[in-house]
Structure 1
Amino acid sequence: MLRWTITFIILAIIAGVLGFGGIAAGAAGIAKVLFFIFLILFVFSLITGRKKV
Structure 2
Amino acid sequence: RLPALDVAARAEIRQAFDRYAAKLLHPPLVSLRSESRAGVPHGLLDALKRLFDLKD
Q: TM-score, normalised by structure 1?
A: 0.45
User: Which structure carries more helix by proportion?
Assistant: 1
Q: TM-score, normalised by structure 2?
A: 0.43
Of structures 1 and 2, the one with the larger relative CO (CA 8 A, separation 6+) is 1
